[in-house]
Amino acid sequence: MSPAPGKSRPGDLFPDASDELVAGLAKMPDLLSKALPLRDKHRRALASGVRRLSTFLTVERDNLPPDYMNRPEYLSAYLHYFFPWNIYRQGRLLQGLDFSLKPDSTILDFGSGPLTFLQALWLTRPHMRKNSYKYIGFDRSDPGLKVGRKIFEGLAGTEGKSWKVHTERQLGDARKSAPADFIVAGNFINELNPARSAKDTEQTSEEILLQRWDALLKEDAAILVVEPGTRSSSKQLVRLREAALGKGWQVASPCTHASECAMPGSRSGSWCHFNFQPYDIPEWLFKFSRKVKLPKERASLSFLLLVRGKDCPVKIITPPTRDNSEGLVRVISETFDLPDFKQGRYGCGQKGLVLLQNDKTPHPGPQPGELLTVKWSAKSEKDPKSGAIIIPSTQ
């Protein structure tokens, strides 16, 4: 069962959207109409444009035009549907990650589109607004970058001047801003062409990507990659995680350990991603999503937060455990029914995949993304279907 609206639990990775986040999203139609006024003809074509772009971004990836953000039809579709949904998704994750970023940090956002991450960061980090940061959004499509800058100016007003916002079209220009503190990429790496980047080399495209990013970062640095909650994106993040661990990075979230991934999404197995209920989106987005026939009952994403160095610019607090008899488990799945009036949810801990099991209850219980402290037992049974270690009663 899912929690009632407005009932975030301590330790949630996706707490309810804050008032600031909801208010910022509520302002989007107005900000968009100022930043990119639509002719009647384009307004009428918006719904069909959103549906076409959605097909390209999901089931017909190979046909996605590389310059889609330059085409008025798809740019406006992106801005009215995917952009607010991504601010919402990234915003709820940013609230849950609850990290602070050192003042004067330089942030490089690759495939930034309309500066989605910047808007989400602004809306979810009121305490960072007075600090100075340098943010550079990189995207091959200039129109999206331009609209993104105007929207940020409208959203942040004069207060936003303490954040120095720049945009660049060439990813290679990131060298000019190196060494940076923090690299972010939202819904970007699934658009990179693996065949092109990994040609003539033994390295995976994720190893090559990480090598490029490494060269742009300080010794104390962080990387946040947020991707769709699909099997293929999650598998890409598993490869990026492996490459990062091999290069001395630590996974600050969502992993609770540095051992082999317990949910790598191989064959029919489950993959690491998180679903949460978007009951707190503003009314206009709810109605617009219904109008374009793409309503969402679940928001979904996969992500990886990597950190490196003693003085990492991103600080995350992890709950301590007492000794080896205890361990941290990240809840991954939603709740599902089990025989004998029980219910379960999959989680991931240092011993691998776990099945958190308890008697059926009307209470919502731990949600996807929540971090729990569990007791390991030498006598634990394994679930015959998934091979997960069964951990009884998490309530």
Ligand X SMILES: C[S@@+](CC[C@H](N)C(=O)[O-])C[C@H]1O[C@@H](n2cnc3c(N)ncnc32)[C@H](O)[C@@H]1O
Contact 13, 274 (CB under 8 A): yes
Distances (CA, A) of 17 to 12, 282, 342, 373, 391: 12, 10, 31, 25, 31
Token pair listed for 174: 């990131």
CB-wise, 163 or 188, nearer to ligand X?
188
- Out of 42, 134, 140, 296, the only residue in the binding site for ligand X (CB under 6 A) is 140
Distances (CA, A) of 298 to 123, 190, 196, 281, 386: 21, 21, 34, 11, 24
CB-wise, 12 or 139, nearer to ligand X?
139
Phi–psi pair at 155, nearest 5 degrees = -75, -45
Question: Pattern 183-202, binding to ligand X, x per CB under 6 A?
Answer: ---xxx--x-----------
Which of these segments, 97-105, 107-115, 305-313, 342-350, binds ligand X (CB under 6 A)? Answer: 107-115
Say how far apart CA 216 and CA 244 lie, in whole Å: 15
Which of these segments, 138-146, 240-248, 258-266, 311-319, binds ligand X (CB under 6 A)? Answer: 138-146
Our finding on whether 141 is near ligand X (CB under 6 A) is: yes
Distances (CA, A) of 250 to 99, 241, 255, 360, 387: 15, 9, 9, 37, 26
Instruction: Quote the strand ranges of 118-191, DSSP E.
Output: 133-138, 163-168, 180-186
| C-beta neighbour count of 115 within 10 angstroms | 28
Shortest reach from residue 172's CB to ligand X, in Å: 10
Touching ligand X, residues 238-277 (CB under 6 A)? none
Token pair listed for 390: 């069964």
CB-wise, 62 or 323, nearer to ligand X?
62
Say how far apart CA 374 and CA 154 lie, in whole Å: 46
Question: Pattern 53-72, binding to ligand X, x per CB under 6 A?
Answer: ----------------x---
Shortest reach from residue 337's CB to ligand X, in Å: 34
- Out of 24, 49, 113, 143, the only residue in the binding site for ligand X (CB under 6 A) is 113
Shortest reach from residue 77's CB to ligand X, in Å: 12
**Dihedral angle sign, alpha carbons of residues 233, 239, 240, 245:** positive
Q: Helix or strand or coil: residue 302?
A: strand
Q: Helix or strand or coil: residue 200?
A: coil
- Out of 91, 144, 327, 344, the only residue in the binding site for ligand X (CB under 6 A) is 144
Contact 382, 388 (CB under 8 A): yes
Our finding on whether 119 is near ligand X (CB under 6 A) is: no
Our finding on whether 228 is near ligand X (CB under 6 A) is: no
Say how far apart CA 346 and CA 273 lie, in whole Å: 11
Shortest reach from residue 82's CB to ligand X, in Å: 6
| Cα angle 308-138-273, degrees, rounded to a multiple of 5 | 55
Shortest reach from residue 145's CB to ligand X, in Å: 8
- Out of 76, 86, 119, 275, the only residue in the binding site for ligand X (CB under 6 A) is 86
CB-wise, 68 or 133, nearer to ligand X?
68
Shortest reach from residue 113's CB to ligand X, in Å: 3
CB closest to ligand X, residue no? 113
CB-wise, 161 or 169, nearer to ligand X?
169
Shortest reach from residue 117's CB to ligand X, in Å: 6
Q: Which amino acid is at 87?
A: I
CB-wise, 8 or 177, nearer to ligand X?
177
216's enclosing H/E stretch is: none
Q: Which amino acid is at 27?
A: K
CB-wise, 193 or 377, nearer to ligand X?
193
Q: Which amino acid is at 219?
A: E
Which of these segments, 135-143, 202-210, 308-316, 379-387, binds ligand X (CB under 6 A)? Answer: 135-143
Which of these segments, 106-114, 149-157, 212-220, 348-356, binds ligand X (CB under 6 A)? Answer: 106-114
| Residue 309 CB burial class (10 angstroms; 0-12, 13-18, ≥19) | middle
Token pair listed for 364: 């919502």
CB-wise, 140 or 166, nearer to ligand X?
140
Residues of this chain that bind ligand X (CB under 6 A): 69, 83, 86, 111-113, 116, 139-141, 144, 171, 186-188, 191
